[in-house]
Amino acid sequence: MTLNECYAALGGDYNEVISRLRSERLVQKFVLKFLEDKSFDTLVAAMAGHDRETAFRAAHTIKGMCQNLSFTRLGDSAHDLTEALRNEWSDSADALFEKVRADYIATAAAIDRFKTETGL
């Protein structure tokens, strides 16, 4: 699996990220570091505890990382959840979180597959 194929699998925009970061090696470095970030774990715990402020910050962080890495699908769902949590706990927050969870799992699986197939 190439990095471009990884981006296709995770619903990202490879051309956009490569135009911004200018180096496939740099993109690869940050893609692999994405899995080390604990924001998703923080989001899961905050959503379970209905901690709106912490959930908002975690979703906002995920959104920002996704924008920087051009992870479009996960970034879009994280954006929607961020907005649902911005000022109060929205009735749609739980459903939006499930979309973020599914998109995160798909993103992580694509990155894991890339990592495994390239021997990184």
Output the domain CATH number for residue 95: 1.20.120
pTM as predicted: 0.95
pLDDT per residue as tens digits for the range 70-83: 999 999 999 999 99
Please give the tally of structural domains in the chain. 1
pLDDT exceeds cutoff 90 at 120: no
DSSP label at residue 92: T
The closest alpha carbon to 62, from 20, 91, 104, belongs to 104
DSSP label at residue 82: H
∠ CA 46-27-37, rounded to 5°: 20
**Residues of the domain holding 102:** 3-118
Q: How many helices and strands (H and E) does the chain possess?
A: 7, 0
Roughly how many angstroms between the first and final C-alpha of the chain, as a whole number?
12
pLDDT per residue as tens digits for the range 9-53: 999 999 999 999 999 999 999 999 999 999 999 999 999 999 999
